[in-house]
Amino acid sequence: MLLIDVVDPFLLDRATLTRRGLSETSRAAYRADIATWARQIARLDGRLPPRPTSGDPDPFTIVSVADLTESTIKSAYRVIRLTEAPATVQRRVGTLRLLMHWLLVEGHLTSDPTLRIEAPLRPTRLPAGWDDDELARLAATVWQDRPGRPNSRRWPALERACFAILATTGLRAAELCALTNLSMRDAGQEALLDVIGKGDQQRAVPIPPEAVSVVRHYVTERDARLGTQPPSAPLLLTTQGTPLTRGSLRHLVDGWITRAGISRFDGEAVHALRHSYAKGLIRSGVPAPAVQNLLGHRDLKTTGIYVKATAADVRDAALLSPARRVLREVSAPVADPAPGV
């Protein structure tokens, strides 16, 4: 039995067991994890070339359930562990274990070949973000007028709308790109963004008047340039009238960081704005459960990382106190007097 015969039934079972079902993103992530194992197993025994080519067959069509032995999985794991980040390897091992358990329950396997595999620990890394001065420099860069080249696809109003939303709401890149014209609405004294987050979870995020004004200015320009857009259309469109993508957004933010000359952190640059937003809320005294709701975290423990990160920032700032230098000077050891003095 080939993997192509079992992957979809496995995903259907996962969707049935999961209370909220499976979003398309989660389904694609599961398939990608299983495909990575299948591809690596096929490469190790020569059914696929060492490097991918355009003519490679679908690994699900050439790897069978019988190929999922402890020996082949261990060999594939050694390669995957050397070539991918610990967090990614941890997720891939988790997906494989779920698949193996399902194959056991369905009677396609007689034993679990992953029992002796230990996934690497996810490194404890506090989220990095920019301080107020760096955010101000970033904003000044976005608002700075730059002469456009002929046929340039730059659209300052779009960039400013992206920055305004990201900096004041902490949206993820995918959430920003998924906004529609219906997403921003008035709710009495405030405006809200209706956001669809991970696992298709919906939440309403307040957006301040300053950001609303920037977004509305962009929408006025957009409709004048591209025509009035239907309510269900994407909110953020490029100069060509196509929806803003995560890749395009990442390119924009990378450019802002380079021109502003501020710190660049590991990982996606857009997410650093989310970290900055979350840490700013914690520093301002917003309770962690409220921050959890604003960010769309399922678990309060995830939000707690920002509390730890903010505490670490305070500790680092305390260590920069000028009083430390003063104390070092006044408490420096005095040399012993010479004999007879």
| Alpha-carbon gap, residue 185 to 204, rounded angstroms | 10
In a domain, 336, yes or no: no
CB within 8 Å of 49: residues ≥ 6 apart = 43, 56
In a domain, 99, yes or no: yes
CB 279 within 8 A of CB 129: yes
| Alpha-carbon gap, residue 227 to 309, rounded angstroms | 45
pLDDT at 121: 67
Q: What does the DSSP assignment read for 44-81?
A: HTTSS-SS--TTPPPGGGT-BGGG--HHHHHHHHHHHH
Same domain, 169 and 70: no
3-class secondary-structure state, position 40: helix
pLDDT at 25: 79
In a domain, 84, yes or no: yes
CB 147 within 8 A of CB 279: no
Same domain, 161 and 55: no
Exposure string (b/e) for 75-110, b if CB count within 10 Å is 16 or more? Answer: bbbeebbeeeeeebbebbbebbebbbebbeeeeebe
Q: Which of 81, 96, 83, 97 is nearest to 33 (CA)?
A: 96
Same domain, 53 and 96: yes
In a domain, 115, yes or no: no
Identify the domain containing residue 44 by its residue range.
3-105
Quick one: which H or E segment has residue 84?
Answer: none
Quick one: which H or E segment has residue 85?
Answer: none
Exposure string (b/e) for 298-313, b if CB count within 10 Å is 16 or more? Answer: eeeeebebbeebbeeb
Beta bridge partners of 180: 234
Same domain, 163 and 93: no
Model confidence, pTM: 0.61
In a domain, 155, yes or no: yes
Same domain, 87 and 188: no
Same domain, 162 and 290: yes
pLDDT at 78: 92
CATH of the domain at 285: 1.10.443.10
pLDDT at 314: 42
Q: At residue 341, what is the residue type? A: V
Same domain, 233 and 311: yes
pLDDT at 19: 60
Phi, psi of 330 (to 5 degrees): -80, -25
Domain count, the chain: 2
In a domain, 325, yes or no: no
Same domain, 49 and 152: no
Same domain, 167 and 311: yes
Q: Which of 149, 77, 147 is nearest to 119 (CA)?
A: 77
End-to-end CA distance of the chain: 95
Same domain, 82 and 28: yes
Q: What is the mean pLDDT of each run of 10 residues along the chain (341 residues)?
A: 94 79 82 95 92 90 94 93 85 93 93 85 62 87 74 84 91 91 84 82 86 94 94 93 91 91 75 82 75 73 58 44 54 54 42
Same domain, 62 and 143: no
Q: From 105, 140, 156, give the residue that closes a domain.
A: 105
Phi, psi of 174 (to 5 degrees): -65, -35
Same domain, 144 and 287: yes
